[in-house]
């Protein structure tokens, strides 16, 4: 029988409604450089990637170099906006307070730990995740998702087998990373950046099921504790 020894949450787009905010800023910066793209297109194509990797993909597509200064601009603009515009995803605190009675949990994110901490403080969630944060850019191999390294690092540190871990992810890149780590995945489409066929994209990438609200999460975890991934 399957078991759940750890629940891992992505941060952006799962705990905090930050993906669309980041997409708005990123789309504006790219459009100003001559690569026209909407926030919706940016979310659908690149959600879950760090901005550095997004720029690399755009450079490969356009065959034109893009100034690395955009990375610093992106960081500065994003940090300035989260203090006033960032919100927690609806229902996440109640879901975590239920889940923590049954399962260990943590965050695995491509964001820097200082940024994760600031976002969680801003939306009044940090008390639930203090000392439970893993940043892909700061630990282990420092390879961000879609590499599986951050998930494997967390599993090793917390002494659990990957097959007994369930990951909550909102992006196809995050799903790919979790599946490559040998973990099970619940897709999440409750953020404001969610797009048409988002759910199908997550299941096609390997998510066993998809939820639109965190209120559903405790019951879905209960079900996944007794069913095998087919």
What is the CA 184 to chain-centroid distance, rounded? 15
State the helix-helix crossing angle for 149-157 and 172-180, rounded to 10 degrees. Answer: 50
Q: Does residue 76 sit in the same domain as residue 118?
A: no
10 vs 124: CA distance, rounded Å: 17
Nearest to 181 by CA among 139, 153, 159: 153
Q: Does residue 139 sit in the same domain as residue 126?
A: yes
Q: Does residue 78 sit in the same domain as residue 190?
A: no
Give residues with Cβ within 8 angstroms of 191, minimum separation 6.
13, 14, 17, 19, 20, 89, 170
Domain assignment present for 1: no
Q: Does residue 29 sit in the same domain as residue 119?
A: no
Domain assignment present for 128: yes
| Residue 9 DSSP SS3 | strand
Domain end (from 65, 85, 105): 85
Positions of the chain with pLDDT under 50: 229-230
Q: Does residue 25 sit in the same domain as residue 65?
A: yes
- For residue 43, give its domain range: 19-85
Domain assignment present for 132: yes
What is the CA 156 to chain-centroid distance, rounded? 20
129 vs 135: CA distance, rounded Å: 13
Q: Does residue 123 sit in the same domain as residue 12?
A: yes
Domain assignment present for 229: no
Helix (H) or strand (E) holding 109: strand 105-109
* Res 148: pLDDT: 98
pLDDT tens, residue by residue, 165-192: 999 999 999 999 999 999 999 999 999 9
Say how many domains are in the chain.
Answer: 2
Q: Does residue 79 sit in the same domain as residue 105?
A: no
Q: Does residue 25 sit in the same domain as residue 61?
A: yes
Domain assignment present for 51: yes
């Amino acid at each position: 029988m399957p078991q759940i020894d750890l629940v891992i949450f992505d941060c952006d787009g799962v705990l905090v409604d930050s993906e669309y905010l980041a997409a708005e800023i990123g789309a504006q910066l790219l459009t100003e450089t001559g690569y026209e793209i909407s926030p919706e297109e940016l979310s659908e194509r690149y959600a879950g990637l760090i901005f550095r990797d997004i720029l690399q993909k755009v450079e490969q597509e356009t065959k034109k170099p893009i100034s690395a200064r955009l990375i610093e601009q992106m960081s500065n603009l994003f940090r300035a906006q989260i203090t006033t515009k960032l919100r927690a995803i609806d229902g996440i605190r109640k879901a975590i307070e239920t889940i923590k009675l049954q399962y260990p949990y943590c965050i695995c994110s491509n964001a820097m730990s200082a940024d994760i901490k600031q976002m969680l403080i801003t939306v009044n969630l940090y008390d639930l995740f203090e000392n439970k944060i893993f940043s892909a850019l700061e630990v282990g191999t420092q390879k961000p998702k879609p590499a599986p390294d951050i998930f494997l690092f967390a599993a090793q540190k917390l002494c659990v087998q990957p097959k007994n871990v369930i990951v909550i992810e909102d992006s196809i890149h995050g799903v790919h990373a979790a599946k490559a780590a040998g973990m099970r995945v619940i897709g999440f489409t409750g953020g404001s950046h969610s797009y048409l066929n988002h759910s199908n994209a997550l299941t096609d990438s390997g998510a066993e099921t998809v939820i639109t609200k965190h209120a559903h999460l405790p019951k879905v975890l209960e079900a996944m504790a007794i069913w095998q991934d087919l």
